[in-house]
Structure 1
Amino acid sequence: MAIQTPALNSFAAGELSPLLDGRTDLAKYYVGLKTLLNMIAYPTGGATRRGGFRFIAEVKNGYNTASAVRLVPFEFSTTQAYMLEVGDEYIRIMRDQGQILWTTDPNQSSHTFDTVQNWTDISIGAGQIGFNSASLALDVYAASNVASGWAEFQFANLASPEVVHRLTLENQNEATPIMAGVGDVRTINSASFDLSALAEQNGGTVTVDFDPNGATQIYVGLVNQNEGSATVDNVILRRKYYEISSPYISSQLFDIKYAQSADTMFKAHPSVHPQELTRTGHQAFSIADVPFISGVAAAGGDIFATDFPAVVSFFEGRSAWAATNNEPQAIWLSETTDIYDFSTGSNAASAIKATIRALKVNRIRWLIPLSDLLFGTTGGLWRIGATTTAEPVTPNNVSARQTESEEGSANIQAIGIKNGALFNQFHGQRLMRAQFTFTSAALSGAWEAEDLTILSDHIIGGDDNVATMIEMAWQQYPHRILWAVRSDGVLIGLTYNKAQDIVSWHRHLTGTEDNRASVESVAVIPGTQKDDVYVVVRRNVNGTIKRYIELLSDDRIRVITDGRLLDSYLDYVGDNDSSVIAVGGLDHLNGASVSISVDGATHPDRTVINNSVTLDNRASQVVVGIKYDSELETMRIEAGSELGSALGKVKRIGSAIILFYRSAGCQYGTEEDKLDTLAWRRTTDKMDAAPALVNEAIEVTMPGDWERAGRIIIKQSLPLPLTVLAIVPRVDTSED
């Protein structure tokens, strides 16, 4: 009987391919994992639970055949970044982790009173409405508490009945509350106030949000059921969320390529004239055809008037367009002094057209500006540069060459990253890095493509090897992670640092095992404390399919109350003087079973009823959302044998020392259905507060018996943090 205690102190290779299960001869085997689910591999070697996804908004059209949306980042500056919800012929804008709301909607209807105007008096008993000449407002008067002053107005021909609207008004009388309601059903009397939305407030602004559900005739009712007058002014009905029209339909969204310079973004699609999205303010975005000019007289000088490019970028001060339907192997570079001008000539600043020559069709898929203009085609990697490397590209020295790599590209926008590019291989199941390799002996170099999925070849294709990558985004800070969406709705991540040889894949599922959700889009913009990762998620909520925009929360947890470890969550953050017994605003999870954390501790699950949940006790910090499991499973532990390899030999892991960092318990074991729970709370901890996070090595006795696999599983199913830095198992191996 041989006993060993190997140290598993790095998981930097991430989740490895099942085909490597026996490759104990590889160095990466000993820093790899069989499973890394809903956890992130740190570049330093440990692994931590990902943060939960915070609910931001439901997409405009909910869920139907035309409701698919794509997220597109718009980075105006280092301090002003927007996330675009690009849907079926519309674009909505998000900033500072929330949707931008209309303040001045061109479609709005408003009332500032100089007369009663068209408001109808349907008061009950000794109630009435009238014009207040002193304050130029509408008085809604009741002679007693049994009377009702009632004013009604019909908004006819609502311009956008398919979107959520917001009603706001001012009540100038602090002493008398006003009830305001809006809906598509006409009110009858105060006893049957059957409007779809209702709010009551004394002095100040009253806000009511409602969904017309396609109705164009909308009624607004103002009711005072208290003795005295409520004095109302500035009644405004507007669309709630700021949006602009777009020429792209739902089926075209994921074929859009884009490139941005300051406040201008160019968009390219083979079926739509190139578009220019510009911004001059938070509610001042516009999109229109790019106003090209050139020496070509046809179509007013627009060289793309009828043949639209599919790819766009910028290079050396020029705009770059490529791959029209009629010329899929051509690239056009604008003048250096005017990115709209494609007038060709012999001057150094003149526009350039280059067509690659190959033995087979090489449709251009993407362009990335590096030292050369690197571009991927269906048949390989190419570059455009000057014939002399020290010079900029001009019409007289431009050179288009195929690189040494023959890896074709899928139709996904590549990502430029530190003198290279990450791109999806032609068949959609490999991630490649294009990089320039310099050979000092030969005093020359070449562009080459490296397969970053070679040790994790299952990560994109999935268990049945049919999934493909459909979109990806780069999160520079804090961990350097490439996020990608698979065609089967699984989100995958790659912690990547070439200088440290870190290539670590991880998978992320959201929703419960019997009600799995699907991620459909991902994008990243700079945030305040990290780069913000946004996703579009399709969820089944109480039998109804919904599409939500959600934001990945920070996994860097300092204290227990920092944790946001539930999906589609909303939170309440107060203090000891502002605790709550109920949490509302959970419309997006109405009817669903949810998990809850209160002041850093777990709470029994609840079902959301009437958009809220009630707690057992008051709490100052509450997080409500959908639970998810995080799991780390090691490879077969190759240790414990004195007669060669321990692979496949009967062994038992009797105990293990687990080094935790800022963690709050876990489940552990050697078999999925035989896990023990590590107690987080100790007898010395106070019962009225959550215990402190664990930062220590803890020895545990492993459940399970003798078997041949020899793996260790560490799992967290509660909304609590978990970070594992190292595992030291005691392995008993039988030599019989």
Structure 2
Amino acid sequence: MAGGRNTKTSFTAGELGDELLGRPDMRAYENGARRLRNVFIQPTGGVTRRPGLRHVAMLPGKARLIAFEFNTEQTYLLVLTHLRLQVFMDDAPVAEIAAPWTEAMLDQIAHTQSADTLLLAHPEMMPQRLTRGSHTAWSLAAWDWVAQPYFRYAPPGLTLAPSGTGGTVTLTASAAFFQAGHVGTRLRIGGRRIVVTAIASPGVATAVVEETLAGAAPTDDWDEAAFSGVHGWPVTLCFHQDRLVIGGSRDLPNRLWLSRSGDLFNFDLGTGLDDQAIEFALLSDQVNAIRAVFSGRHLQVFTSGAEWMVTGDPMTPASIQLHRQTRIGSPIARIIPPVDVDGSTIFIGRSGQAVHEYAYTDVQQAYQANDLALVARHLVREPVSMVYDQTRRLLHVAMAEGWLATLTLYRTELVTAWTRQETAGAFRALAEIDGTVWCAVERDGRIRLERFDPAMAVDSGLTGASATPRRIWSGLAHLEGRKVQVVADGTPLGGATVGGGAVTVEPETQALQVGLGFAHVIEPLPPQLSGAAGARSVPLRLISATFRLLGTAALSVDLGSGARPVPFRRLDTPMLDAAPPPFTGDVTLRGLGWQRDALRPLWRIEGETPLPLTLLSVTTETRMTD
């Protein structure tokens, strides 16, 4: 009979997929777990029950969340919904204005910010400019172009003949060309601008001359605005080296436009001087519809089929160079902006099952795209939103099916650890502001605005305080009819049902926290069996398990008994008249019985008590026999 003692001091590989159950030789196996639900991995290796979600507001429907940072002291959350924009500061709405986007457009809206102005783009919407005047004064309007970019969409040989050289003229095309969307679109004839004001037929239109034309004869020396109601509007955008960069449009999906340096809405190519605008297409042996442009060490371009690097320091019409780096591709169904993590760019792969780290290597002088979800593929499935919490080093990725995959990423300490967050509903959109992660959560068919709150132990929760003890607490209409968890003065009181927007608690209390409960799970990988018996199924007995805890107020553990799990045993059971004190130290539990199932965990932590839990390490003592 062989005995063994094993100490698991780290969970820095996170939750691993079942495909790795046969790879105990990997370092990830030693530091990983089979299930990590509703917990965060600390950069130091411990596991902590995640904070709850504070309820902020009910939203009218599907939403897109955008962070707006005016300065270090004034930050706002922008909530985009059907035909409107709401502005929140802290937990309160401060402004609401009409908007041109619909609910169906939210997934494809791209944005970038400079000082007090946020630019928004969508291939079916004239690009918008959101400006902050004060906390409560916000304005949204179409861009005011200084000089638009132009492109020749018409086939070669198609001519235009103006009826005159100034004022209002009639344009006659040599073939069908004009569409209703051309109204308001600028054309250039011989490099001189005119604006279409009316369409008489596919071959005839009326226009106003802005720059006197050179002549009235038919000519094929003409082009039209690259962006219009006919050919679509910009897809994505960013700022880089004091230029506004536009990546793709509906009808020109693989084209890049860079404004003049310091003149963000001026795309006049001029004569190619260093500070003038730049325009070029991404041409290769594959489709390259641009899905994101990102300003990092270089201008990074993410397309539907590959990732590109645009160089030039400074970037000028003469110095600019384009290099394809990797062939991963980005999603085409929605815009998921890449995020910066310690100088690397994190982006979602087109497959919908990968999260890549796009990092520049000085040795190869090129970018590489490592898959961060390689060992946790089951947690990444059709991402719909992504944010990075720099304060806690947590990357949150919301999935189409509603869960949140959370990655603790700390390269200097070799920490790449995934966990899964679940709630009584579905995470639909995310935003991060100053270490606070905001969520649009769908519950019971309604969308709610919530945020992670370290002081909250329940989801969709609210807190209340009273100078005198109270038994009835109201203001809970958003949880009407739901069974909720109640925490009074720091002590869990169990479940209650919300009726009439209120709950009744016993005994009376002066401070209350009410919301939806959630369960945490920490389950290790199967034990590594070695020796003469190898990895085959052999009788195995857990003698004891010692859990090292930090600031933990409640713990439920299943050690199993033979082929059947024993009931969970809760330590430090809270008293009804006082909040349980947090416990720091070791707790040793004795195991009973033998087991032959090699895939069965030796222990499992699972509980929904709304109290803090932090697990630092686990030491197990086992016996094995042939």
TM-score bin, normalised by smaller chain: 0.7 to 0.9
Mapped to 2, the partners of 1:508 and 1:250 lie a distance apart of 26
State the Cα deviation string for residues 457-514 of structure 1 (Å, max 9, x = none): 11113xxxxxx1111111111x211111111111111111122221111111112xxx
The equivalent of 1:732 in structure 2 is 623
Q: 1:678 aligns with which of 546, 554, 570?
A: 570
Tell me whether 1:590 sits opposite 2:480 in the alignment.
yes
Tell me whether 1:572 sits opposite 2:566 in the alignment.
no
State the Cα deviation string for residues 115-164 of structure 1 (Å, max 9, x = none): xxxxxxxxxxxxxxxxxxxxxxxxxxxxxxxxxxxxxxxxxxxxxxxxxx
Per-residue deviation, 1:703: 5.7
Counterpart code for 1:378: S
The equivalent of 1:532 in structure 2 is 436
The equivalent of 2:471 in structure 1 is 581
State the Cα deviation string for residues 406-461 of structure 1 (Å, max 9, x = none): 1111142211222221111112110001110121xxxx511111010111111113
- What fraction of aligned residue pairs are identical, expressed as a percent? 27
Q: How does 1:240-279 map to 2 (within 5 A)?
A: 242-279=95-132
Mapped to 2, the partners of 1:704 and 1:330 lie a distance apart of 67
Mapped to 2, the partners of 1:13 and 1:401 lie a distance apart of 34
Distance 1:98 1:2, change over 3 A: farther
Q: How does 1:513-662 map to 2 (within 5 A)?
A: 517-526=425-434, 531-540=435-444, 545-554=445-454, 562=455, 564-573=456-465, 577-639=467-529, 641-643=530-532, 645-646=534-535, 648-662=537-551
Mapped to 1, the partners of 2:348 and 2:367 lie a distance apart of 16
Conserved 8 A contact 1:636-1:647: no
Conserved 8 A contact 2:290-2:304: yes
Q: How does 1:505-516 map to 2 (within 5 A)?
A: 505-511=418-424
Q: 2:384 aligns with which of 470, 479, 483?
A: 470
Mapped to 2, the partners of 1:32 and 1:715 lie a distance apart of 17
Conserved 8 A contact 1:669-1:704: no
Mapped to 2, the partners of 1:5 and 1:357 lie a distance apart of 60
Mapped to 2, the partners of 1:578 and 1:435 lie a distance apart of 57
Conserved 8 A contact 2:556-2:571: no
Mapped to 1, the partners of 2:112 and 2:194 lie a distance apart of 27
Mapped to 2, the partners of 1:284 and 1:636 lie a distance apart of 58
The equivalent of 1:73 in structure 2 is 67
Distance 1:728 1:359, change over 3 A: same
Tell me whether 1:353 sits opposite 2:279 in the alignment.
yes
Conserved 8 A contact 1:675-1:703: no
Counterpart code for 2:614: T
Mapped to 2, the partners of 1:489 and 1:549 lie a distance apart of 15
The equivalent of 1:408 in structure 2 is 329
Conserved 8 A contact 1:665-1:677: no
Mapped to 2, the partners of 1:497 and 1:298 lie a distance apart of 56
CA RMSD for the aligned pairs? 1.9
Per-residue deviation, 1:99: 2.4
Per-residue deviation, 1:602: 1.3
Mapped to 2, the partners of 1:585 and 1:46 lie a distance apart of 37
The equivalent of 2:215 in structure 1 is none
Q: 1:447 aligns with which of 367, 374, 390?
A: 367
Per-residue deviation, 1:622: 1.1
State the Cα deviation string for residues 217-256 of structure 1 (Å, max 9, x = none): xxxxxxxxxxxxxxxxxxxxxxxxx310111100110111
The equivalent of 1:425 in structure 2 is 349
State the Cα deviation string for residues 299-346 of structure 1 (Å, max 9, x = none): 579652343110110100011101112211111111112111111122
Tell me whether 1:458 sits opposite 2:381 in the alignment.
no
Q: Aligned to 2:620, what secondary structure does the other structure show? A: strand
Mapped to 1, the partners of 2:308 and 2:347 lie a distance apart of 13
Q: Aligned to 1:338, what secondary structure does the other structure show? A: coil
State the Cα deviation string for residues 547-602 of structure 1 (Å, max 9, x = none): 21111112xxxxxxx5x21111111145xx54332211101011211110111111
Q: Which runs of 5+ in 1 are unaligned?
A: 62-66, 101-241, 462-467, 512-516, 555-561
Q: Aligned to 1:362, what secondary structure does the other structure show? A: coil
Mapped to 2, the partners of 1:483 and 1:592 lie a distance apart of 27
Q: TM (normalized to structure 1)?
A: 0.72
Counterpart code for 1:396: A
State the Cα deviation string for residues 161-210 of structure 1 (Å, max 9, x = none): xxxxxxxxxxxxxxxxxxxxxxxxxxxxxxxxxxxxxxxxxxxxxxxxxx
Mapped to 2, the partners of 1:349 and 1:298 lie a distance apart of 26
Per-residue deviation, 1:675: 3.6
Per-residue deviation, 1:45: 0.4
Counterpart code for 1:86: L
Mapped to 2, the partners of 1:38 and 1:596 lie a distance apart of 19
Distance 1:610 1:428, change over 3 A: same
The equivalent of 2:157 in structure 1 is none
The equivalent of 2:33 in structure 1 is 33
Counterpart code for 2:393: R
Conserved 8 A contact 2:491-2:576: no
Mapped to 1, the partners of 2:393 and 2:604 lie a distance apart of 26
Conserved 8 A contact 1:638-1:645: no
Counterpart code for 1:351: A
Tell me whether 1:304 sits opposite 2:227 in the alignment.
yes
Conserved 8 A contact 1:674-1:704: no
Mapped to 2, the partners of 1:703 and 1:43 lie a distance apart of 34
Q: How does 1:44-63 map to 2 (within 5 A)?
A: 44-59=44-59, 61=60
The equivalent of 1:330 in structure 2 is 255
Conserved 8 A contact 1:593-1:608: yes
The equivalent of 1:370 in structure 2 is 296
Conserved 8 A contact 2:471-2:509: yes
Mapped to 2, the partners of 1:302 and 1:278 lie a distance apart of 25
Conserved 8 A contact 1:485-1:519: yes
Tell me whether 1:383 sits opposite 2:309 in the alignment.
yes
Counterpart code for 2:586: A
Q: How does 1:143-158 map to 2 (within 5 A)?
A: none
Conserved 8 A contact 2:554-2:609: no
Q: Aligned to 2:34, what secondary structure does the other structure show? A: strand
Mapped to 1, the partners of 2:341 and 2:141 lie a distance apart of 30
Mapped to 2, the partners of 1:710 and 1:5 lie a distance apart of 18
Conserved 8 A contact 1:669-1:703: no
Per-residue deviation, 1:272: 0.7
Q: Which runs of 5+ in 2 are unaligned?
A: 149-187, 196-209, 211-223
